[in-house]
Amino acid sequence: MTVRLGAVGYLNARPLVYRLDRSPNFTLRFDVPSKCADLLHGGAIDVGLIPSIEYLRGGPLAIVPDLAIASNGPVTSVMLYATRPIDDVRSIAMDTSSRTSVALVHVLCARLFNIVPRIESASPDLERMLAMCDAALIIGDNALFHSSAEPRGASTVVDLGEAWTRLTGLPFVYAFWAGKPGVLTPAHVRELQETRDRGVAEADVVAREYLSDSPGRQALGARYLRENIKYYLGEDERAGLELFYRYAAEIGVAPRGVVTFY
């Protein structure tokens, strides 16, 4: 059976699908993270690279083992920009392409920043978001390349991966492959893991191909893939994921759930 995969279109997902479009065992499409989750919940794809929070919101789902998009410290592509000190933030505009990072902001507001801001949803336009709210959440490529420059209008910049690790001492898991139980065979799982291994080993090639129209950004993209993003779901990542789920459930932004793997 050919498995329908839905992947995230951002740079950080590309090592997980490196040359996978050549496989006879999978078909592949790219969308923003929130769309990947909707497609999986709606049955339009068999397995999705979904925001980790979406695992609790639809199911039953099983996680593909040892594959993730994670960070342990600064991530540089999940960023909160503010026009004032974080303690004084009273409103946050949230990037509509994100769901896990939105839940992470709620958790950090409750447990680290000690604020209860008003939340607004907005398309990822930093200047417009900061005109409507005190702070703005931006994710993915938009955040990565904003973080490498001085963002106009923002006097405070918080890397949410770094904030989570400072709070917990653990990695943060943003996304992983998940699908209906029984959809993937052990051979499918091995192929996805081998694809990851090739993509991680070829980070420079991945960045060069993805940013082919922007040579000036290729070195930054390759460094980001090598140094900031982690692609394994080991014991520490699972501990961080389960703690995130517990914190999210405690503040009511996600239901409680049990983690199941293929």
What is the mean predicted confidence (pLDDT) over 34-46? Answer: 92
* pTM of this structure: 0.94
The answer to whether residue 233 scores a pLDDT higher than 80 is yes
What single DSSP character describes residue 53? G
The answer to whether residue 147 scores a pLDDT higher than 90 is no
Q: In which band, very low, low, confident or very high, does the pLDDT at 29 lie, cut at 50, 70 and 90?
A: very high
The rounded distance, in Å, linking the Cα atoms of 57 and 125 is 27
Topology adopted by domain 3-70+171-250: D-Maltodextrin-Binding Protein; domain 2 (3.40.190)
Burial class (CB in 10 A: 0-12, 13-18, 19+), 179: buried
What is the mean predicted confidence (pLDDT) over 174-189? Answer: 95
| Lowest-pLDDT range of 149-163, 200-214, 247-261 | 149-163
Q: In which band, very low, low, confident or very high, does the pLDDT at 49 lie, cut at 50, 70 and 90?
A: very high
Sheet holding 78-82, edge to edge: 118-122, 91-95, 135-139, 78-82, 156-159
The rounded distance, in Å, linking the Cα atoms of 227 and 240 is 19
Q: In which band, very low, low, confident or very high, does the pLDDT at 154 lie, cut at 50, 70 and 90?
A: confident
Which regions of the chain does DSSP assign to beta strands (E)?
3-8, 26-31, 47-51, 62-63, 69-71, 78-82, 91-95, 118-122, 135-139, 156-159, 172-179
Nearest CA among 141, 186, 123, 139 for reference residue 14: 141
Same fold, 3-70+171-250 and 78-168: yes
What is the mean predicted confidence (pLDDT) over 155-183? Answer: 96
Residue in the block written with tokens 């993805």:
210
Q: Between 154 and 18, where is the model more confident?
A: 18
What is the mean predicted confidence (pLDDT) over 5-29? Answer: 96
Q: What pLDDT does residue 150 have? A: 57
Topology adopted by domain 78-168: D-Maltodextrin-Binding Protein; domain 2 (3.40.190)
What is the mean predicted confidence (pLDDT) over 95-121? Answer: 95
Domain boundaries, the chain: 3-70+171-250, 78-168
